[in-house]
């Protein structure tokens, strides 16, 4: 039970069940609190309760403005849901847009204080009146300018407080604030970092399932709340280079090219995860490439071909379909590429894949591309994968598409 005092009475609010970590954060008196946690820890619940305490606590009243900020209004919904649930317990509180967070969403409290929402996708929109408290959810995805040029100055009028809440997204402006909070000589900041398993209400099986499925670096970031730096992404390449006899159906992944880059066909055994053959060609017409792909599929006994169909892949995919190949199309986008690369990283992390390529030269080419393939971060903190300048990643992309075909399970067809 949490009690907040107004000018005339005390109001009792029933918060969600709190664990020790949340209580520790809520007891902080620092002006700036940085809360870094793993998934499902309950950071939005803690942040919403802290923000409402600023709106209903001692000294709050008309002119008290608290704001919940997230990278977008869609992400605002997690904190807004908690604020609405708590606000509905307060007699005399008025809630605008209780279901869907928008620019007009507002919690007006009986003491005259207000809790509003803000989206950081347009940082200039956060400029305005002075704020008493601000909670920034998924702060690692918020542009630094939103904090330094809008929110931080808005707290100056009232010596306001802020809680910066996030799962980490690598070295960035938020990590610098986190490190300030670890410095005992900096009294304004206090920082906390909690992995997901420090939430006693979270089923440990959920975490272990994620550990077994996710790439190691993604698991460490999302569940262990570690700040992961950019760099090479594939581990255990040598351990995964071993001879494995195929025992099941074969699928083929195709990354197309026409001039400078290479078209690459990669055959993977569905049952064992063995990469049994690779073909790498360039400077050939699409019709000849499709003929080579048809011969490749006959040779390995493929039951399915998954081929990139956008960019240079549109025309050869059409040729392949006309040639009677068992074609399924894969469209590479800003979201689909990280997904299939992430699945391939997880396969190497957990040694579910075997590079069983008999041609030593092609095995070396594939291995070199895997070793050089790197991860960087975009402005929002999301992963971006690519080869270093001057190098190729065609084998990696073909392998990732083939691994996606394996995950889909293929589709049986008659070998021509």
Q: State residue 381's pLDDT score.
A: 58
pLDDT digits (tens, 9 = 90+) for 378-389: 655 566 777 766
| pLDDT score, position 8 | 45
Model confidence over 52-65: pLDDT tens digits? 999 988 888 999 99
User: What is the per-residue pLDDT for 415?
Assistant: 39
The whole-number pLDDT of residue 371 equals: 84
**Global pTM value:** 0.67
Q: What is the pLDDT of residue 6?
A: 47
pLDDT, residue 165, reads: 97
Ordered structural domains, the chain, with CATH: 2-222 (3.40.50.300), 232-408 (3.30.420.240)
Q: How far apart are CA 46 and CA 405, in angstroms?
A: 42
Consecutive sets of 10 residues in the chain, 416 residues long: mean pLDDT of each? 48 79 96 96 94 91 93 90 91 87 89 92 78 94 88 91 91 89 92 96 93 83 84 85 92 85 93 95 88 95 92 84 91 88 92 95 90 71 69 90 90 42
């Amino acid at each position: 039970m949490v009690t907040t005092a107004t000018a005339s009475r005390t109001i009792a609010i029933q918060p969600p069940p709190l664990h020790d970590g949340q209580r520790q954060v809520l007891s902080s008196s620092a002006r700036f609190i940085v809360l870094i946690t793993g998934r499902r820890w309950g950071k939005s619940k803690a942040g919403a309760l802290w923000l409402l305490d600023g709106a209903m606590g001692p000294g709050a009243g008309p002119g008290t403005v608290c704001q919940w900020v997230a990278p977008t209004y869609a992400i605002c919904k997690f904190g807004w849901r908690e604020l609405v649930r708590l606000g509905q317990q307060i007699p005399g509180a008025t809630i605008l847009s209780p279901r869907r967070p928008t620019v007009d969403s507002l919690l007006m409290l009986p003491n005259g204080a207000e809790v509003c929402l803000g989206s950081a996708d347009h940082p200039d929109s956060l400029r305005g009146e002075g704020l008493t408290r601000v909670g920034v959810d998924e702060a690692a995805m918020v542009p630094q300018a939103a904090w330094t040029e809008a929110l931080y100055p808005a707290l100056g009028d009232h010596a306001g407080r802020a809680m910066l809440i996030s799962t980490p997204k690598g070295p960035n402006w938020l990590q610098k604030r986190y490190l300030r909070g670890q410095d005992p000589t900096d009294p304004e900041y206090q920082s906390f970092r909690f992995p997901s398993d420090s939430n006693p209400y979270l089923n440990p099986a959920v975490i272990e399932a994620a550990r077994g499925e996710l790439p190691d670096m993604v698991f460490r970031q999302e569940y262990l709340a570690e700040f992961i730096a950019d760099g090479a992404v594939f581990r255990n390449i040598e351990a995964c280079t071993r001879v494995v006899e195929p025992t099941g159906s074969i699928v083929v992944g195709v990354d197309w090219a026409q001039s400078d880059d290479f078209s690459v066909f990669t055959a993977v055994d569905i049952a064992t995860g063995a990469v049994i053959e690779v073909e790498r060609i360039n400077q050939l017409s699409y019709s000849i490439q499709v003929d080579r792909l048809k011969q490749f599929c006959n040779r390995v006994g493929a039951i399915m071909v998954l081929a990139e169909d956008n960019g240079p892949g549109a025309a050869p995919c059409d040729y392949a379909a006309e040639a009677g190949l068992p074609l399924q199309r894969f469209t590479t986008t800003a979201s689909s590429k990280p997904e299939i690369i992430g699945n391939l990283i997880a396969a190497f992390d957990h040694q579910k894949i075997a590079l069983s390529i008999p041609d030593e030269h092609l095995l070396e080419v594939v291995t070199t591309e895997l070793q050089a393939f790197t991860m960087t971060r975009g402005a929002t903190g999301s992963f971006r994968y690519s080869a270093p300048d001057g190098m190729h990643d065609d084998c990696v992309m073909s392998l990732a598409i083939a691994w996606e075909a394996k995950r889909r399970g293929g589709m049986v067809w008659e070998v021509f």
